[in-house]
Amino acid sequence: MKVSVDGVEFRYKSASVLEGITLELDGAGLTSIIGPNGVGKTTFLHCINRLLTPSSGTILVDDVDVKEYKTRDLAKVVGYVPYSGSKGFPLTVLDTVVMGRHPYSTIRSTKKDVQAAYETLDMLEISEFALRPFSDLSAGQRQKVMLARGIVQEPRILLLDEPTANLDIKHQMEVTKILLDLSRSKDMNIIMVSHDLNIAAKYSDRVVMMHQGKIFRVGTPAEVITSENLRTVYDVEAEITEHCGRPYVLLNGPL
């Protein structure tokens, strides 16, 4: 499943957020979008998922303009997991995850929907919370529930905004490895925003680095995560070493 972006721009009133974004992400794999705060990473995801409408340019999903999809049909193809910074829904964890099956269901959820939800909760090791109120969970647990809701939707393309936010180191690694494995086993094109350069470097097939509303670099982790690029984009001095065949970032300090 391919995402093709051509000349996309987006403005909030008079402020330009995205400028001339042109990018193609084709086939299964895990792509990390990196860059400092305010460069348009989340806005870019919102444009792909049609939560926002670009000021200009086109976005194609499997060679079809996203504007031409019916809402339910787009939800079967593109899933979105937002950053979970609030307590969210007055529902149980199970009900929250089953909401992800909405594109395939009628008014009531089916046994298949509930089974899929339990299987996904089990995969993320949070099935013990299935009947607990979503609002009672910790921030990290809520983040995993939102991830489960996105996975149970069974999209071909899954967009995630900081999916490892609020997670400790162990669970950051576990969740990102699950995403990588899903991209392989389910033939999914998974695109996530990440602020953790070493997580992105360790698990990503592709990295997109954004700077000042534009695409700065696209390539493998080793091609994109370099001392020179971090100096330009993040205003930091960093040493890049190699660990298990992947770049590893050692930060020295701000410029």
Render each residue's pLDDT in the chain as its tens digit; 255 residues. Answer: 899 999 999 999 889 999 999 999 999 999 999 999 999 999 999 999 999 999 999 999 999 999 999 999 999 999 999 987 666 668 999 999 999 999 987 778 899 999 999 999 999 999 999 999 999 998 889 989 999 999 999 999 999 999 998 899 999 999 999 999 999 999 999 999 999 999 999 999 999 999 999 999 999 999 999 999 999 999 999 999 999 999 999 999 999
The per-residue pLDDT for 90 is 84
- Report the side by side order of strands in the sheet with 157-161: 78-81, 157-161, 189-193, 29-34, 206-211, 214-219
Residue 187 Cα distances to 35, 139, 166, 181, angstroms = 26, 29, 27, 9
How far is the C-alpha of 252 from the C-alpha of 247, rounded, in Å?
16
- Here the tokens at position 119 are 């299987």
Instruction: For domain 2-85+154-254, give the fold.
Output: Rossmann fold (3.40.50)
Quote the pLDDT of residue 87.
62
State the Cα–Cα distance between residues 163 and 166, nearest whole angstrom: 9
What local confidence, expressed as pLDDT, does residue 16 receive?
Answer: 96
pLDDT of the residue at 85? 60
Q: Who's near 40: CB < 8 A, 6+ residues apart?
A: 10, 17, 18, 210, 213
Residue ranges of domains in the chain: 2-85+154-254
Rounded CA-CA distance 195/10 in Å is 22
pLDDT at residue 146, as a whole number:
92
Residues with Cβ within 8 Å of 12's Cβ and at least 6 positions away in sequence, in order, are none
Count how many Cα atoms sit within 13 Å of the Cα of residue 121 in the half-sphere of its side chain: 25
User: Please, what sign has the CA dihedral across residues 144, 149, 150, 152?
Assistant: positive
Confidence (pLDDT) at 86: 61
Q: How do strand 29-34 and strand 206-211 relate by DSSP bridges?
A: parallel
Task: Tell me what pLDDT residue 109 has.
Answer: 85
Cβ count near 255 (within 10 Å): 9
User: Which amino acid would we find at residue 28?
Assistant: A
Secondary structure of 120-154 in HEC code, one letter for each residue: HHHHCCCHHHCCCEHHHCCHHHHHHHHHHHHHHCC
Could you tell me the pTM of the whole model?
0.94
pLDDT at 107: 72
